[in-house]
Amino acid sequence: MSGIPVSVCRACGWRGFPARLWCPRCGADHVGSDEVESGVVEARTTLRRAAGRVLDAPVEIATVALAGGGRAVVRVDGAGGARVATTVEDGAPVARPLHDEDDDEEA
């Protein structure tokens, strides 16, 4: 599994999603890339309609603070806590709940 690709400014350290050609913080064009495989959910919502139509099934989306910096809006697969694993599927960012070992022992 690979993570979400983020831009990383080599001049000031800014990190963000989606990919950028230049840094929105300092304006530098020395932007590289990295993959982020986890993050923390900051906010969630459920979509039931899309562009004038009812969806076949509700879709949960979330804003995720990515490990190391930056944020992404992602589709959430599965219920769970705030910590998530991130990946890209069919071109879209997706998050799935991460479970701590402590959580598994309590279940």
Tokens of 64: 């995720």
Does this model's pTM top 0.95?
no
| Alpha-carbon span 49 to 62, nearest angstrom | 16
Q: Per-residue b/e over 88-104, b at no fewer than 16 CB within 10 Å?
A: beeeebbbbbbeeeeee
| Alpha-carbon span 40 to 65, nearest angstrom | 5
- The pLDDT profile of the chain, 107 residues, written as one tens digit per residue, is 489 999 999 999 999 999 899 999 999 999 999 999 999 999 999 999 988 888 999 999 999 999 998 999 999 998 777 999 999 999 999 999 997 644 444 43
SS (H, E, C) 21-62: CCCCCCCCCCEEEEEECEEEEEEEEEEEEECCEEEEEEEEEE
